[in-house]
Structure 1
Amino acid sequence: MIKISLTSVPVDDQDKALNFYTNILGFIKKAEVPLGEHKWLTVVSPLEQSGVELLLEPMAFEPAKQYQSALKEAGIPWTSFAVDDIKKEYERLSNLGVNFSITPREAGPVMIAVLDDTCGNYIQLMQEL
Protein backbone atom coordinates (compact mmCIF):
# COMPACT_ATOMS: atom_id res chain seq x y z
CA MET A 1 0.00 0.00 0.00
CA ILE A 2 1.27 3.46 -0.88
CA LYS A 3 0.67 6.53 1.25
CA ILE A 4 1.65 10.18 0.97
CA SER A 5 4.37 11.08 3.48
CA LEU A 6 5.65 14.34 2.00
CA THR A 7 4.40 17.02 -0.33
CA SER A 8 5.88 20.40 -1.08
CA VAL A 9 5.09 24.03 -1.70
CA PRO A 10 7.66 26.26 -3.42
CA VAL A 11 8.65 29.35 -1.47
CA ASP A 12 10.73 32.38 -2.39
CA ASP A 13 12.17 32.71 1.13
CA GLN A 14 12.35 29.73 3.49
CA ASP A 15 12.65 31.77 6.70
CA LYS A 16 9.69 33.98 5.76
CA ALA A 17 7.74 30.85 4.80
CA LEU A 18 8.55 29.13 8.10
CA ASN A 19 7.26 32.17 9.97
CA PHE A 20 4.04 32.31 7.91
CA TYR A 21 3.30 28.58 7.98
CA THR A 22 3.99 28.25 11.72
CA ASN A 23 3.11 31.58 13.36
CA ILE A 24 0.19 32.47 11.06
CA LEU A 25 -1.25 29.20 9.72
CA GLY A 26 -0.41 27.22 12.87
CA PHE A 27 1.72 24.37 11.55
CA ILE A 28 4.65 23.00 13.61
CA LYS A 29 8.25 22.79 12.36
CA LYS A 30 9.18 19.11 11.93
CA ALA A 31 12.64 19.19 10.31
CA GLU A 32 15.29 21.77 9.52
CA VAL A 33 18.48 20.42 7.96
CA PRO A 34 21.01 22.81 6.36
CA LEU A 35 21.79 21.95 2.72
CA GLY A 36 24.22 24.53 1.36
CA GLU A 37 22.47 27.85 0.81
CA HIS A 38 19.06 26.27 1.46
CA LYS A 39 17.67 23.72 3.91
CA TRP A 40 15.37 20.72 4.13
CA LEU A 41 12.55 22.44 5.99
CA THR A 42 9.27 20.72 6.77
CA VAL A 43 6.16 21.53 8.79
CA VAL A 44 3.27 19.37 9.96
CA SER A 45 -0.22 19.85 11.29
CA PRO A 46 -0.35 19.99 15.09
CA LEU A 47 -3.24 17.51 14.78
CA GLU A 48 -1.15 14.97 12.83
CA GLN A 49 2.46 15.41 13.91
CA SER A 50 3.41 12.00 12.48
CA GLY A 51 1.35 12.63 9.34
CA VAL A 52 2.13 14.17 5.98
CA GLU A 53 5.00 16.65 6.05
CA LEU A 54 4.90 19.84 3.98
CA LEU A 55 8.32 20.71 2.53
CA LEU A 56 8.89 24.47 2.26
CA GLU A 57 10.91 24.03 -0.89
CA PRO A 58 13.31 26.78 -1.98
CA MET A 59 12.43 28.18 -5.38
CA ALA A 60 15.79 27.66 -7.06
CA PHE A 61 14.81 26.06 -10.41
CA GLU A 62 13.91 28.63 -13.09
CA PRO A 63 11.18 26.58 -14.84
CA ALA A 64 9.55 26.01 -11.44
CA LYS A 65 9.61 29.76 -10.79
CA GLN A 66 7.80 30.33 -14.08
CA TYR A 67 5.20 27.67 -13.24
CA GLN A 68 4.63 29.13 -9.75
CA SER A 69 4.26 32.62 -11.22
CA ALA A 70 1.85 31.43 -13.94
CA LEU A 71 -0.36 29.67 -11.38
CA LYS A 72 -0.51 32.74 -9.17
CA GLU A 73 -1.21 35.09 -12.09
CA ALA A 74 -4.11 32.80 -13.09
CA GLY A 75 -5.41 32.80 -9.51
CA ILE A 76 -4.89 29.05 -9.14
CA PRO A 77 -3.96 27.73 -5.68
CA TRP A 78 -0.78 25.66 -5.39
CA THR A 79 -2.42 23.27 -2.89
CA SER A 80 -5.34 22.91 -0.52
CA PHE A 81 -5.58 22.51 3.26
CA ALA A 82 -8.61 21.15 5.11
CA VAL A 83 -10.20 23.14 7.94
CA ASP A 84 -13.10 22.32 10.25
CA ASP A 85 -14.65 25.81 10.23
CA ILE A 86 -13.67 27.93 7.24
CA LYS A 87 -15.47 31.07 8.41
CA LYS A 88 -13.67 30.91 11.76
CA GLU A 89 -10.28 30.39 10.04
CA TYR A 90 -11.01 33.19 7.60
CA GLU A 91 -11.73 35.60 10.49
CA ARG A 92 -8.68 34.45 12.48
CA LEU A 93 -6.32 34.77 9.52
CA SER A 94 -7.82 38.05 8.32
CA ASN A 95 -7.28 39.49 11.80
CA LEU A 96 -3.60 38.45 11.47
CA GLY A 97 -3.31 40.42 8.21
CA VAL A 98 -3.58 37.52 5.76
CA ASN A 99 -4.88 38.56 2.33
CA PHE A 100 -7.52 36.45 0.60
CA SER A 101 -8.16 36.39 -3.15
CA ILE A 102 -11.37 34.41 -2.54
CA THR A 103 -13.41 34.85 0.61
CA PRO A 104 -15.38 31.87 1.97
CA ARG A 105 -17.92 30.62 -0.53
CA GLU A 106 -19.74 27.44 -1.34
CA ALA A 107 -18.32 25.33 -4.17
CA GLY A 108 -20.47 22.24 -4.56
CA PRO A 109 -20.06 19.95 -1.54
CA VAL A 110 -17.42 22.19 0.08
CA MET A 111 -16.76 25.74 1.25
CA ILE A 112 -13.51 27.25 -0.01
CA ALA A 113 -11.38 30.32 0.53
CA VAL A 114 -8.04 31.20 -1.08
CA LEU A 115 -5.22 33.02 0.71
CA ASP A 116 -1.87 34.50 -0.32
CA ASP A 117 0.96 32.75 1.58
CA THR A 118 3.30 35.77 1.06
CA CYS A 119 5.87 33.39 -0.47
CA GLY A 120 4.62 33.28 -4.07
CA ASN A 121 1.53 31.05 -3.79
CA TYR A 122 -2.19 31.03 -3.38
CA ILE A 123 -3.33 28.35 -0.93
CA GLN A 124 -6.90 27.08 -0.82
CA LEU A 125 -8.65 26.32 2.44
CA MET A 126 -11.47 23.80 2.17
CA GLN A 127 -14.25 22.73 4.55
CA GLU A 128 -16.43 19.73 3.72
CA LEU A 129 -20.13 20.51 4.10
Structure 2
Amino acid sequence: MRRIALVALVVDDYDEAIRHYTDALGFRLVEDTPRPDGSRWVVVEPGTETGGSGLLLARAKNEAQRGRVGDQTGGRVGFFLHTDDFARDYARMRAAGVTFLEEPRHEPYGSVVVFQDLYGNRWDLLEPATTA
Protein backbone atom coordinates (compact mmCIF):
# COMPACT_ATOMS: atom_id res chain seq x y z
CA MET A 1 0.00 0.00 0.00
CA ARG A 2 1.18 3.51 -0.79
CA ARG A 3 -0.26 6.83 0.32
CA ILE A 4 0.78 10.40 0.92
CA ALA A 5 1.23 10.58 4.68
CA LEU A 6 2.29 14.20 5.21
CA VAL A 7 2.42 17.48 3.34
CA ALA A 8 4.75 20.17 4.70
CA LEU A 9 3.13 23.53 5.34
CA VAL A 10 5.56 26.37 6.06
CA VAL A 11 4.43 28.48 9.03
CA ASP A 12 5.76 31.45 11.01
CA ASP A 13 5.37 29.99 14.49
CA TYR A 14 4.70 26.48 15.75
CA ASP A 15 2.41 27.32 18.66
CA GLU A 16 0.32 29.86 16.73
CA ALA A 17 -0.10 27.32 13.89
CA ILE A 18 -1.03 24.52 16.30
CA ARG A 19 -3.69 26.73 17.91
CA HIS A 20 -5.14 27.69 14.54
CA TYR A 21 -5.28 24.18 13.12
CA THR A 22 -6.62 22.57 16.29
CA ASP A 23 -8.91 25.30 17.64
CA ALA A 24 -10.22 27.03 14.50
CA LEU A 25 -10.10 24.17 11.99
CA GLY A 26 -10.74 21.26 14.36
CA PHE A 27 -7.62 19.26 13.54
CA ARG A 28 -5.95 17.14 16.19
CA LEU A 29 -2.34 17.40 17.26
CA VAL A 30 -0.67 14.07 16.50
CA GLU A 31 2.92 14.87 17.37
CA ASP A 32 5.01 17.75 18.71
CA THR A 33 8.57 16.55 19.19
CA PRO A 34 11.58 18.81 19.79
CA ARG A 35 14.53 18.23 17.47
CA PRO A 36 18.22 18.71 18.31
CA ASP A 37 18.54 21.74 15.99
CA GLY A 38 15.86 23.68 17.91
CA SER A 39 13.10 22.95 15.42
CA ARG A 40 10.10 20.75 16.17
CA TRP A 41 8.38 17.90 14.34
CA VAL A 42 4.75 19.05 14.51
CA VAL A 43 2.03 16.99 12.83
CA VAL A 44 -1.71 17.73 12.76
CA GLU A 45 -4.45 15.66 11.14
CA PRO A 46 -8.04 16.63 10.29
CA GLY A 47 -9.63 13.33 11.23
CA THR A 48 -10.05 11.34 14.39
CA GLU A 49 -8.62 8.14 12.94
CA THR A 50 -4.90 7.46 13.06
CA GLY A 51 -3.02 6.97 9.84
CA GLY A 52 -4.77 9.50 7.62
CA SER A 53 -3.00 12.23 5.73
CA GLY A 54 -1.59 15.02 7.86
CA LEU A 55 0.21 18.33 7.77
CA LEU A 56 3.77 18.76 8.93
CA LEU A 57 3.81 22.31 10.32
CA ALA A 58 7.34 23.42 9.45
CA ARG A 59 8.61 26.74 10.81
CA ALA A 60 10.28 28.85 8.13
CA LYS A 61 14.07 28.77 8.56
CA ASN A 62 15.23 31.40 6.08
CA GLU A 63 14.07 34.33 3.95
CA ALA A 64 13.13 32.13 0.99
CA GLN A 65 10.87 30.00 3.21
CA ARG A 66 9.45 33.03 5.05
CA GLY A 67 8.49 34.44 1.65
CA ARG A 68 6.37 31.35 0.97
CA VAL A 69 4.39 31.42 4.22
CA GLY A 70 0.76 31.84 3.21
CA ASP A 71 1.43 31.61 -0.52
CA GLN A 72 2.69 28.10 -1.10
CA THR A 73 0.49 27.59 -4.15
CA GLY A 74 0.69 30.99 -5.84
CA GLY A 75 -2.71 32.18 -4.63
CA ARG A 76 -4.81 29.24 -5.81
CA VAL A 77 -6.62 26.73 -3.62
CA GLY A 78 -3.95 24.25 -2.68
CA PHE A 79 -5.54 22.23 0.11
CA PHE A 80 -8.81 20.32 0.19
CA LEU A 81 -10.50 19.46 3.47
CA HIS A 82 -13.21 16.86 2.95
CA THR A 83 -16.04 16.59 5.45
CA ASP A 84 -19.01 14.29 5.96
CA ASP A 85 -21.10 17.18 7.33
CA PHE A 86 -20.57 20.46 5.48
CA ALA A 87 -23.12 22.49 7.48
CA ARG A 88 -21.66 21.40 10.84
CA ASP A 89 -18.06 22.17 9.92
CA TYR A 90 -18.86 25.42 8.12
CA ALA A 91 -20.82 26.70 11.15
CA ARG A 92 -18.13 25.63 13.62
CA MET A 93 -15.35 27.23 11.56
CA ARG A 94 -17.32 30.49 11.13
CA ALA A 95 -17.88 30.63 14.88
CA ALA A 96 -14.13 30.13 15.39
CA GLY A 97 -13.38 33.16 13.21
CA VAL A 98 -12.12 31.40 10.08
CA THR A 99 -12.02 33.74 7.06
CA PHE A 100 -14.23 32.58 4.19
CA LEU A 101 -13.66 34.08 0.75
CA GLU A 102 -17.11 33.32 -0.64
CA GLU A 103 -20.53 32.03 0.25
CA PRO A 104 -21.00 28.24 0.24
CA ARG A 105 -21.78 26.77 -3.19
CA HIS A 106 -23.59 23.58 -4.12
CA GLU A 107 -21.92 22.16 -7.21
CA PRO A 108 -22.55 18.85 -9.00
CA TYR A 109 -19.47 17.45 -7.24
CA GLY A 110 -20.59 18.58 -3.76
CA SER A 111 -20.97 21.45 -1.30
CA VAL A 112 -17.90 23.68 -1.21
CA VAL A 113 -16.59 26.96 0.17
CA VAL A 114 -13.13 28.54 -0.04
CA PHE A 115 -11.47 29.67 3.18
CA GLN A 116 -8.08 30.93 4.26
CA ASP A 117 -5.93 29.51 7.00
CA LEU A 118 -4.11 31.71 9.51
CA TYR A 119 -1.42 32.60 6.97
CA GLY A 120 -3.59 33.14 3.90
CA ASN A 121 -3.27 29.74 2.22
CA ARG A 122 -6.48 28.95 0.36
CA TRP A 123 -8.44 25.80 1.18
CA ASP A 124 -11.66 24.18 -0.01
CA LEU A 125 -14.01 22.83 2.63
CA LEU A 126 -15.79 20.17 0.61
CA GLU A 127 -18.50 17.62 1.22
CA PRO A 128 -18.38 15.47 -1.90
CA ALA A 129 -21.70 14.63 -3.52
CA THR A 130 -22.87 11.11 -2.91
CA THR A 131 -23.24 8.92 -5.94
CA ALA A 132 -26.39 6.86 -6.33
Q: Place the TM-score, normalised by the shorter chain, in its bin.
A: 0.7 to 0.9
Q: In the alignment, what sits opposite 1:95?
A: 95
Give me the TM-score of the superposition, normalised by structure 2: 0.79
Stretch moving more, 20-29 or 43-52: 43-52
The AA in structure 2 aligned to 1:118 is L
In the TM superposition, residue 87 of structure 1 has moved relative to its aligned partner by: 2.5
| Secondary structure in 1 matching 2:19 | helix
Counterpart mapping for 1:114-129 below 5 A: 114-129=114-129
In the TM superposition, residue 93 of structure 1 has moved relative to its aligned partner by: 1.1
Write the deviation string for residues 72-127 of structure 1: whole angstroms up to 9, x where unpaired.
773x2231110112232212111121111123113441221122211342222111
Kindly indicate whether the alpha-carbon contact (under 8 Å) linking 1:99 and 1:116 is maintained by their aligned counterparts in 2: yes
C-alpha distance in 1 between matches for 2:50 and 2:69: 27
Return the structure number with greater helix share: 1
The AA in structure 1 aligned to 2:60 is M
Structure 2 spans left out of the alignment, 5+ residues: none
% same residue: 28
In the TM superposition, residue 23 of structure 1 has moved relative to its aligned partner by: 1.6
Q: In the alignment, what sits opposite 2:60?
A: 59
Q: In the alignment, what sits opposite 1:43?
A: 44
| Secondary structure in 2 matching 1:124 | strand
Residue 12 of structure 1 pairs with residue 20 of structure 2:
no
Structure 1 spans left out of the alignment, 5+ residues: none
Q: In the alignment, what sits opposite 1:105?
A: 105
Calculate the aligned-residue CA RMSD, in Å: 2.4
Give me the TM-score of the superposition, normalised by structure 1: 0.81
Kindly indicate whether the alpha-carbon contact (under 8 Å) linking 2:70 and 2:119 is maintained by their aligned counterparts in 1: no
Write the deviation string for residues 40-96 of structure 1: whole angstroms up to 9, x where unpaired.
10012342223222211223354444455556773x223111011223221211112
| Secondary structure in 2 matching 1:60 | coil
Kindly indicate whether the alpha-carbon contact (under 8 Å) linking 1:81 and 1:123 is maintained by their aligned counterparts in 2: yes
In the TM superposition, residue 21 of structure 1 has moved relative to its aligned partner by: 0.8
Over 3 Å counting, the alpha-carbon distance change for 1:68 and 1:110 in structure 2 is farther
Residue 83 of structure 1 pairs with residue 57 of structure 2:
no
Over 3 Å counting, the alpha-carbon distance change for 1:123 and 1:37 in structure 2 is farther
Over 3 Å counting, the alpha-carbon distance change for 1:65 and 1:107 in structure 2 is farther
